[in-house]
Chain A
Amino acid sequence: MSDTITTSSLAGVAEKLKPRYETSKAAMMPLLYEVQARDGYISPEAETEIAELLGVSPTEVHESVSFYPLLFEKPVGKYHIQFCHNISCSLVGAEPLIELLRKELGVGPGEVTEDGLFSYQRAECLGCCADAPVMLVNEELFGKLTEEKIRNIIEQLRAGKKPKNDTPLTETDEIEDPVLSVNFMVPNGANIKVAEQRGAYTALRKALKEMEPQKIIEEVKSAGLRGMGGAGFPAGLKWSFVPKDPTLTKYLCVNCDESEPGTCKDREIMRRDPHRLIEGAIIACRAFGAEKAYVYIRREFYHEKKVFDKAIEEARKAGYIGDNILDSGFSIDFVTHPGAGAYICGEETGLINSIEGKKGWPRIKPPFPALQGIFDKPTVVNNVETLSNIPYIINNGIDAYRRRGTEKSPGTKLFGVSGQVKRPGIFELPMGFSLRELIYGICGGMREGHLLKAVIPGGCSVPVLTADEIDVALDFESLEEGGTSLGSGGIIVMDDSVSMPWALEILERFYAHESCGQCTPCREGVMWMYKILQRMNNGRGRKGDIELLIDIANNIEGQTVCPLGAAAAWPVQAMLKKFRGEFEELIQ
């Protein structure tokens, strides 16, 4: 693994990490990664060591270690491979590739090869769906995998060489007057000099010098900016729930835990244009008075986090982050915080708990984060893409932003297309763009010899659309009318080769794996649904299975602590409604 550190320096690291947070416990996750880098895994002795350094109980440390998939309780290989087996990767042949990997390495998931070189785990969505099939080797992502590529990578690693990584950059298109993808095609677009030349931080200057905080909120409200993480809640309205009392400490949490299968848009901003996000986040902090932004980045985004951390340092040096920025009297700090492979941490209160060094169990509401969020202080959690819209709105004004999109869903949005289209990729499009046009136009239609069968339009949680239902506009309202949701804009396209019970089993395997275990309906019900689907697909379907599945799904939806219970229920409800015949065939 990476550099070794000595025990004495672990204490030093802890002392360096603690001041970044309001409680020492919050330093747990980065400290655990230090130990994992040192030892290769986290031993019980290390748990005790960390507990002592942070002044918490070993139980609290072990709760986290046993909860998060990317904290290892036993040693892994020198090269640990995470191979995605979620829907987007499975649609383009992940399973045969995992089988190949198993044969090549001669070990099963969770085992280490005799020489100690390799181990692998099946991973739930690495957030790079347009590059499917994908795997991470330690911190490096390999995409568009083929049998040959995998054999090559293993061979090179065995020979002690750094394998060639020829993953092509994710497909995208240039559009006129882009809001979000301005720097996507620009070489070195993540560099502050390049970004500044292309207008980065001009909006920040304007917001600090020419606008009162309340005016920023009003502007974002009037622009109609919606939350792009999935729920579509108006961003300005969310900010306005934060108490105005200037004596209160407030925080922004930036949600870059992009883990909804099919969704891979935030990653592009993080790695291709991080300064847009930083600028948007600073303006947001200014608007509702936050003094610090915690950026929660999913662990699988190793590269993206490196790029983003570098961008933060550049911005700090340039005087955009720190005390009294641009002589405005406003001070802001940024802390990036790594996730650990748990989907649930994309839920805003799960994310807050995760930063606080706890398991990512969502909180019950009330209290809402706007009043009592991270470290019990008023907090706003915003998605990466949401915040990245703000510089454009401030620079160009409400009318320019509203020029595109619909009345209620204005502006543009990043759509990630994955699955069985000719040209998967990440595309900025005006809200209200036609789904059919996106699939058949921009993405080049279906693979040769296949017809479209189904589309999941907003990340794998939203109800599926049949091939007959794709004449729908991609905006919040139109998709809701169509019985589904815009969600995160991760569009998963399936052709006629796909068995829907098979696809649904993959989805429910994901939800069963990712259920955080806190509340009863999701913890028990989702695994139950998965087991039923697994049995049906294994040829042991029973009379009543379909009705039971629907009943379970109906009783999870809306009955849980967080919305992710419903997220597991919707695919079941929709698939069984729209493709019931295929499920009936599995019942003797």
Chain B
Amino acid sequence: MKINGEEHEFPDGINVLQACERIGIDIPHFCYHPALRVAGSCRMCKVEVIQGGRKRIDISCNVPVQDGLEIITDSPAVKTARKMTLEFELANHPLDCPVCDVAGECNLQNYYMEYGLHDSRMNESKHTKHKATGIGRSIVHDGERCVLCSRCVRFLSDVTKTRELGIFGMGSKEELTVYPGASLDNDYAGNVVDLCPVGALTDKDFRFKRRSWFLSHTSSICQLCSRGCNVRIDYDVNPYHEHKRNIQMRTHRTETTEYARIQRIKPRHNEQVNDYWMCDHGRYGYRPTDSADRLLHPLLREDGELKQVKTSVAIKQAATAILSAIGRNPDKAAIIVSPLLTNEELFTVHRLFREKLNLPNLDHKLPIDSDWYGDNILRTPDPFPNRTGCEWIGLHPLPKGAGIADLDDAIAGGKINTLLSILADPRDYLKEASLKKLKNRFYILRNLPDELKAYTDIALPAAAWGEYKGTFTNFSGRIQRLNQAFKPLGEARPVWSIMLDLSILMKKTLSLKNFDDVFRAQRNKVHLLSELEWDDIGDTGVMALEKHVEAVA
């Protein structure tokens, strides 16, 4: 078929709007969304359709591509139709952009600049509807800004099937809102904010935090279940954008977490993983990265007190402690890693402690919180993002070694006296008595809660989510990339980097110098093609080699 005079070929089953997008022609639209059934109600995506010699203006979202069709997307008639539709959309719009969170990323604004640029001809009184109404845990509704595109309604009826929102009433006075007395609190509620093309549904968590144009974006992978939803980290490292009362007297960023860098998390489209969605648990689960309990500097217990020391001192001390514990008997130490580690981190832990030191007590099987549940949309029954990585790399106890389940007994019986816990709070899997009895308690942690300090001998700060790059292998064997958004706070470092230093001090050097070395060395372990480079993984990930994927399934 022809688009603007040029011949193109498209596969059957897509519509003209999608076809235009494929060849780089943007068609403005409000109600159309690729993952939702077509509504055809906003009338913004009009194009000129020439079929069988007859010309008509039609909505491109509901015209299937077909042989011999001719489409014109930029004729004067199309421009007028779009301009007028926009004028209708804006007729009753409150134009409160200065106090609207969505300003800067609003379709109404963008399209106005592109297709409208008219002076308002609306001299009548505008409709008044509900403003700034909380309609759920995290969602705020503004009826006046709503363009009634029904995306949110279709999402809640077809995807979550919870139907909290409806368009009630009739005609120009109708209003989208929550069913009287109900609350929009399902696990996927936050998606309606992403779907809303204007500022009608905003997120309490993000409301008035940042103007959208101050945000930087980095693509990453959610770390809160084994699906590994593709996400985008929206962050701002400029302290001047902080609320006025917080930036007074501050001239440059300190290395403490006095303000949050991550402003919000948005899902990225990946048909193979999460489509366009993510769950609220993941969406609002970013806070630990900038929370006040971040461990920023190494701590070492000296004369009974935890003191801040240099990283080199802490690592040296840890190397000495572990070596002396396992000097005669490698059974004396246990290394516990969380399936929160990236493949690169897991790989270095495994290579040092299993391959080089042959420690038998190595495990990753942390207990799963009893509150956790999976569902049939995105959430999986496993709240850890990289269990597949742990299993493929081999972070298991040796046949005669102790796993997490055996630890309390082994410690009580004096068989184990040294613990290295990586990104896992030992209280999650050990009794208090065991923590007291251990001789060496060495942690690599992102966050060190005050309550844990009494049971800490050495603590090294680990880089948090967003602060470093790496890969996760999700439940289906897809290897996906986490990118670095900003620098680690304080002296925090990725676990792989700590492992490299530790290996040198333990005289078991891994002979790897940097991330690229680690990434290349681990490819085989995580079943990637051996010549696959970091860039090849791309933003949507790659599947591990097929035979291994079958094995995990």
A: which residues have CB within 8 A of B? 44, 57-60, 62-63, 66-69, 342, 359, 364-366, 512-521, 523-528, 531-532, 535, 542, 544, 548, 551, 555, 558-561
User: How far, in Å, is B347 (CB) from chain A's closest CB?
Assistant: 49
How far apart are B43's CB and chain A's nearest CB, in angstroms? 5
Residues of A within 8 A of B166 (CB): 59-60, 62-63
Contact string, B279-304, partner A, CB cutoff 8 A, digits 1/0? 00000000000000000000000000
Which of B87-95, B369-377, B405-413 faces chain A?
B87-95
Contact B88 A525 (CB under 8 A): yes
CA distance A542 to B44 in the complex (A): 29
A335 to B143, CA, bound (A): 39
Interface string of B77-90 (1 = CB under 8 A from A): 00011001101110
Enumerate the 4 nearest inter-chain pairs by beta-carbon distance, A residue then B residue, closest first. Answer: A364-B40, A555-B84, A531-B124, A527-B172
Nearest-neighbour CB distance to chain B for A64, whole angstroms, equals 10
Given contacts A528-B91, A555-B81, A559-B84, contact A59 B163 (CB under 8 A): yes
Contact: B179 with A62, CB < 8 Å?
yes
Q: Are B181 and A548 in contact (CB under 8 A)?
A: no
Q: Are A528 and B171 in contact (CB-based, < 8 A)?
A: no
> Which chain A residue shows the least CB distance to B39?
A364
Contacts of B85 in A (CB 8 A): 520-521, 555, 559
Closest to B178 in A: A59
Contacts of A535 in B (CB 8 A): 123-124
Question: Given that A521-B88, A528-B91, A531-B125 are known contacts, is A561 also in contact with B41, CB under 8 Å in the complex?
Answer: yes
Give the Cβ gap from A266 to chain B, nearest Cβ, in Å: 23
The answer, yes or no, to whether B180 is at the interface (CB within 8 Å) is yes
Judge whether A523 and B172 touch: CB under 8 Å.
yes
B180-212 CB mask vs A (1 if < 8 Å, else 0) is: 111000000000000000000000000000000
Query: Complex: how many Å from CA A63 to CA B81?
Result: 30
Q: What residues of A have a CB within 8 angstroms of the CB of B40 in the complex?
A: 364, 519, 561
Nearest Cβ distance between residue B179 and chain A, in whole angstroms? 4
Residues of chain A lying within 8 A (CB to CB) of residue B121: 544, 548
Q: Is the CB of A58 within 8 A of B179?
A: yes
Determine chain A's interface SS by DSSP, over half rule: helix
Task: Given A59-B163, A364-B59, A532-B124, decide whether A66 and B168 contact each other with a Cβ distance below 8 A.
Answer: yes
Instruction: Write the residues of chain B forming the contact surface with A, with a CB cutoff of 8 angstroms.
Output: 38-44, 46, 57, 59, 62, 64, 80-81, 84-85, 87-89, 91-92, 121-125, 147-148, 162-174, 179-182
User: Given known contacts A62-B180, A519-B41, is B171 in contact with A527 (CB within 8 Å)?
Assistant: yes
Chain B residues closer than 8 Å to A518, beta-carbon distance:
41
A63 and chain B: residue at smallest CB distance: B166
Contact of A528 among B44, B46, B81, B122 (CB under 8 A): B122
Shortest distance between the CB of B357 and any CB in chain A (Å): 59
Contact A517 B174 (CB under 8 A): yes
A555, chain B: closest CB distance, angstroms? 4
Residue numbers in A under 8 Å from B43 (CB-CB): 519-521, 559-561
- Does the CB pair A520–B89 fall under 8 Å? yes
Task: Classify the secondary structure of B's interface with A.
Answer: loop
- Give the interface centre of A60, A515, A517, A524 by most chain B CB atoms within 10 Å: A524
Q: Known contacts A59-B166, A561-B40: does B172 contact A521 (CB below 8 Å)? A: no
Residues in B whose Cβ lies below 8 Å from that of A528: 88, 91, 122, 124
Residues on the A chain within 8 Å of B39, using CB: 364
Docked Cα-Cα span, A364 to B170, in Å, equals: 18
A148 to B162, CA, bound (A): 55
Inter-chain pairs besides A517-B173, A560-B43, 15 sampled, C-beta below 8 Å: A58-B179, A59-B165, A63-B168, A67-B169, A366-B62, A512-B171, A513-B171, A515-B172, A519-B42, A520-B41, A520-B148, A521-B88, A525-B91, A531-B124, A532-B124
Known contacts A58-B179, A548-B121; is-contact A526 B57 (Cβ 8 Å): no
CB B296 to nearest CB in A, in angstroms, measures 48
Sampled A-B contacts (16; CB under 8 Å) = A62-B180, A364-B40, A366-B64, A515-B171, A516-B171, A517-B170, A517-B173, A521-B85, A523-B88, A523-B174, A524-B89, A525-B88, A527-B172, A555-B87, A559-B43, A559-B57
Chain B residue numbers with a CB within 8 Å of A66 are: 168-170, 174
A525 to B92, CA, bound (A): 10
Contact partners of B171 in chain A: CB under 8 A: 512-517, 523, 527
Distance of B147 from chain A, by nearest CB (Å)? 7
Nearest Cβ on chain A to B121's Cβ, whole angstroms: 6
Q: Nearest residue in A to B90 (C-beta to C-beta)?
A: A524
- Which one of B40, B173, B179 has the highest number of Cβ atoms from chain A below 10 Å of its Cβ? B179
Shortest B131–chain A CB gap in Å is 19
In the bound assembly, the distance between CA atoms of A342 and B170 in angstroms comes to 9
Min CB–CB distance A280 → chain B (angstroms): 32
Interface core residue of A69, A519, A560, A561 (most chain B CB under 10 Å): A519
